[in-house]
Amino acid sequence: MTGGASALSVRVLGDLTVDGSDLTRLDRKSRSLLQLLALARGRPVSPDALVDALWGDDPPARPGDQLAVLASRLRRELGRDRIERTDGGYRLHTDWLDLAELEAVVVEAERRHAAGEIA
């Protein structure tokens, strides 16, 4: 899927999946970048944090360039508008994320429990 015209639904709980995309076309580092960005739930992730997470103590000679290459691969698969480079780093724009939905369910359950609506 390309172009970003369709809704982007991402699952990170369990296996990483994106509705309408075959992530096996992506290399392991690109999939890892996607997962890191999805776990940030729409917040930018700094290049330094991404380099540390992706390469640890053995980063490539030009890590910024390598991040740009990985982001480009994700843009080709998910749509150009889905991976944004900001002053704060890289950010993934999703329409639905299982982790965000889970958090909303937990918050609502906690609210209802505190209000005495559920035991």
Residue 68 lies in a domain: yes
Residue 15 lies in a domain: yes
Residue 1 lies in a domain: no
- Residue 62 above 50 pLDDT? yes
Residue 4 lies in a domain: no
**pLDDT given at position 6:** 80
**pLDDT given at position 119:** 72
- Residue 3 above 50 pLDDT? no
**pLDDT given at position 4:** 43
- Residue 1 above 60 pLDDT? no
What's the rounded mean pLDDT across residues 32-58? 97
Residue 3 lies in a domain: no
The count of domains in the chain is 1
**CA–CA separation, 39 vs 13, rounded Å?**
10
CATH number at residue 44: 1.10.10.10
Domain that holds residue 15: 9-114
Residue 14 lies in a domain: yes
What is the CB neighbour count within 10 angstroms for residue 119? Answer: 4
What's the rounded mean pLDDT across residues 1-12? 73
